[in-house]
Amino acid sequence: MDNVMSENENFNTNQGSVEQTAKPQERTFRQSDLNDIVGRAKHEAVESYKRQNANVSHQSGMSEDEVRRLTSEEVSRQRDKWQAEQQEAANAATVQRIVSAYQSKIAGINEKYSDYNEVSEGLNMGVYPNVVQMLAENVDNADDVLYELSKNRSKLNQLQSTYERSPKDAVYDLQRLAKSIKENTKVMSSKQAATPLSQQRPSSPGTGSPASSMSALKSKYRG
């Protein structure tokens, strides 16, 4: 009987030990432990990336250097494409700015020159983009210059061609023309303001000098 009780006590003791062993133990991590875990995770991620690239290289029959070269070429191609798009957008903005300035400067040309439509009949300034740009950016009397160029289209062609060879020379020629037009306009305005003596109205009776007036009165009332 004593042996049975002893065996039961041993069983209960062993069962408690097993239960205590089977119960999960909570672990407190130190900072060094966390650093080790993070380091292992980073290392595993790098190794995984290497293995993926190795698989791509193996499946495509290319070396890692070839894969890197193609990747670099693709990045360069995308960069060039982006730069081209940026340049195209900048060019479009420049064209819009020039066209707006040109249209603003010649807005009143029909009112200023009643025969402008007749003079400019058939004229297509779209074939003279360089002249349009110069009129928009380099002269302040673009409407006057355009009117003269519409009457002298050989000068239009000359300015367009000169600009293609030397923009500076073309601007110089256009500005000289603009200055000449201004001077001619000023001279004409001065002539119109100065009325010739032959067109002056004669003096009204009684508006002469006091001496001539007295002589007239004496003659009229002479007895």
The model's pLDDT over 118-148, given as tens digits with 9 standing for 90+, comes to 999 999 999 999 999 999 999 999 999 999 9
Q: Is residue 82 part of a domain?
A: no
Tell me, yes or no, whether 216 lies in a domain.
no
Residues 6+ apart with CB under 8 A from 67: 53, 56, 57, 60
Q: What is the pTM of this model?
A: 0.54
Which domain range does residue 171 map to? 106-190
DSSP 8-state symbol, 208: S
At residue 216 the predicted structure's pLDDT band, cuts being 50, 70 and 90, is: low
Residue 13 maps to a domain: no
| Overall number of domains in the chain | 1
Residue 127 lies in a domain: yes
Is 31 inside any structural domain? Answer: no
- The answer as to whether 151 is a domain residue is yes
Lowest mean pLDDT among 27-31, 33-37, 175-179, 217-221: 217-221
Q: Which of 69, 74, 151 is nearest to 115 (CA)?
A: 151
Could you tell me the two tokens for 160?
Answer: 């367009």
CB atoms closer than 10 angstroms to residue 142:
25
Instruction: List pLDDT tens digits, range 64-116.
Output: 777 777 777 777 888 888 888 888 888 889 999 999 999 999 999 999 999 99
Locate all alpha helices (DSSP H) within 140-166, ordered by sequence: 142-151, 153-165
Are 202 and 161 in contact by the 8 Å Cβ rule? The answer is no
Domain membership flag for residue 25: no
d(CA 118, CA 147): 11
Per-residue pLDDT at 176 exceeds 80: yes
Distance CA 160, CA 170 (A): 8
Judge whether 73 lies within some domain.
no
